[in-house]
Amino acid sequence: MTAGISDSILEATDIRIGIGGALPLQIVRGVSFSLMPGKTLALVGESGSGKSLMALALLRLLPPPLSILHGTIRFGDIDVTRLGTAALRQLRGAGIAMVFQEPLSALNPVMSIGRQLAEAVRVHQRLSRNALRRRVLELLDLVRLPNAVRQIDNFPHRLSGGMRQRVLIAMALAGRPRVLIADEPTTALDATVQMEILDMLAELQREFGLAVLLISHDLGLVADYADGVAVMYAGSIIEAGTAAHVLSRPAHPYTRGLLGARPPLRPASMPDTGKRVRLVEIPGTVPEPGHAPFGCAFAPRCPHTIESCREAPPPQALIGDGHVASCIRVGEKA
């Protein structure tokens, strides 16, 4: 992950997010990663792991009272954590753009999609009426919205979920960003639509050399669409590396548990005896945000916990070729 720092377009270092003041509460506890142009990094975790907060922090959109307590976000030459309001407006959309999970609530219901897109373009570019319309149609073409000319005057409720998500992606691309954050972009969509949207995103990424931060809870999707993966648990990245390496040789017990909890992908794992394979359960539940136990946050649910797991936060152990895991027992297990 940290290799080739000079090529990275965005680099987050030791980000801590929470509530400051007299009773401080840390929800994201020291997260670092970097994004490369043309590559996708998947940030994977269950609800409450802090992955969405991390995305909002990159755009400085954290809802109060949450704020970035510590760390730097380097984008090009600038540190996003230090930007003022005007510079942030420039950054959002033109530097870093975001696609949200729920396409209907992210669109204005009383404005045609053409006008909404035009608005997004105008923030970054002064164009004549005609040029603006051409640019809007060009964006809708990019995301392959069928019948773009006819759809332009339609309102969001007239579009299907997949089409709405296309419009949102078009809006995100309006400012020609270099980094695209996609927070569960297809969770609300049907399986066949999900695949179309992700394939399209991958194509756009190649075309524009976009760096994509894909936030997801779905490891299968990560296997298909991400180059790198970082697994979050209770506000920390507990394992990271190339998607191929982490998913085929997971080292952290949590990542292993997550992979085992998925229904199997091959019929071979279901023997003909008629006996169903039991899914691997991770006992217990995710700790509440800001209330991770001391030491290794996963220790209370981990089958390999020993005394020293609870004594100090586990350091990152290098497993090979940029693959790291925060577990003190990584070396001993098979």
Partner 1 sequence: MTTNLPLLEVKDLIVHHRSRGRAIEAVDRVSFSVHRGETVGLIGESGSGKSTLARTILGLLSPVSGQICFDGVDVTRRRRSSWMSPPSTVRRRMQMVFQDPLNALNPRSTIGRIIEEPMLVHGIKPASERRRKVTDLLSKVGLPSKAQFLYPHQFSGGQRQRINIARALALRPELIVCDEPVSALDLSIQAQVLNLLADLQIEFHLSYLFISHDISVVRHLADRVIVMYLGRIVEEGPVDILWGSARHPYTQALLATVPGDARARKHAEPFLCADQNSPW
Rounded-to-integer distance, Cα 170 and Cα 11, Å: 25
Rounded-to-integer distance, Cα 129 and Cα 101, Å: 31
How is 50-74 classified by DSSP, letter by letter? Answer: SHHHHHHHHTT-PPTT-EEEEEEEE
Considering beta carbons, is residue 61 or 149 the nearer one to partner 1? 149
Interface residue list for partner 1 (CB under 8 A): 46-47, 146, 160-163, 190-196, 217-221, 223-224, 257-258, 260-265, 267, 270, 276-283, 285-286
Considering beta carbons, is residue 106 or 193 the nearer one to partner 1? 193
Long-range contacts of 60-68 (CB under 8 A, 24+ apart): 60/88, 61/98, 62/17, 65/19, 65/21, 66/17, 66/18, 66/19, 66/27, 67/17, 67/18, 67/19, 67/20, 68/15, 68/16, 68/17
Does residue 65 have a cis peptide bond before it, meaning omega lies within 30 degrees of 0?
yes
234 within 8 A of 300, measured Cβ to Cβ = no
Considering beta carbons, is residue 96 or 221 the nearer one to partner 1? 221
242 three-class SS: strand
Considering beta carbons, is residue 102 or 218 the nearer one to partner 1? 218
Considering beta carbons, is residue 87 or 280 the nearer one to partner 1? 280
